[in-house]
């Protein structure tokens, strides 16, 4: 069984590849930035980690989005909709959660296939 871990620390691995699937840990933006800026930053991090792990956003399978308050749903979606290619839209869920710091408004975790 082959497992590849990328940029690991003592606590976690931001990206793990196993059996042709890439698993990314939850990504957050800069605490205190707006919902829009945090979402843009997160999606940029996700793209970079997917590339590092041999994938890309057109290979997304599943996305989980946590918002610190559902009132941010429309603002986050505006950024998401501009970023995602509709023909490659993943399965997705979005919910409200208490995030690690009160100045974080968005956290996104994805699962993707390794690109062909």
Residue 47's pLDDT is: 97
Q: How many domains does the chain have?
A: 1
Residue 115's pLDDT is: 80
Torsion, Cα 29 30 33 34, to 10 degrees, reads 10
Mean pLDDT across 97-104: 96
Residue 15's pLDDT is: 97
d(CA 82, CA 5): 30
Residue 50's pLDDT is: 97
Q: For residue 37, what is the domain's CATH number?
A: 3.30.1330.40
Residue 20's pLDDT is: 96
Which residues constitute the domain of residue 13?
A: 3-113
Q: How far is CA 5 from CA 23, 26, 61, 113, in A?
A: 10, 15, 19, 15
Give the closest residue to 28 by CA, choosing from 116, 94, 109: 109
Specify the DSSP element, H or E, that contains 104: none
**Each residue of 19-67: pLDDT tens digit?**
999 999 999 999 999 999 999 999 999 999 999 999 999 999 999 999 9
Q: Taking 90 as the threshold, does the pLDDT of residue 114 lie above it?
A: yes
Percent of the chain with pLDDT over 90: 97
d(CA 19, CA 7): 19
């Amino acid at each position: 069984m082959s497992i590849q871990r990328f940029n690991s620390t003592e606590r976690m691995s931001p990206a793990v590849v196993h059996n042709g699937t890439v698993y990314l840990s939850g990504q957050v933006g800069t605490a205190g930035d707006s919902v829009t800026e945090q979402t843009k930053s997160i999606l940029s991090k996700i793209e970079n980690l997917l590339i590092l792990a041999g994938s890309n956003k057109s290979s997304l399978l599943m996305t989980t989005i946590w918002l610190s308050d559902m009132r941010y749903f429309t603002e986050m979606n505006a950024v998401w909709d501009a970023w995602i290619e509709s023909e490659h839209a993943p399965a997705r869920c979005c919910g409200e959660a208490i995030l690690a710091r009160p100045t974080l408004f968005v956290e996104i975790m994805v699962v993707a296939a390794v690109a062909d």
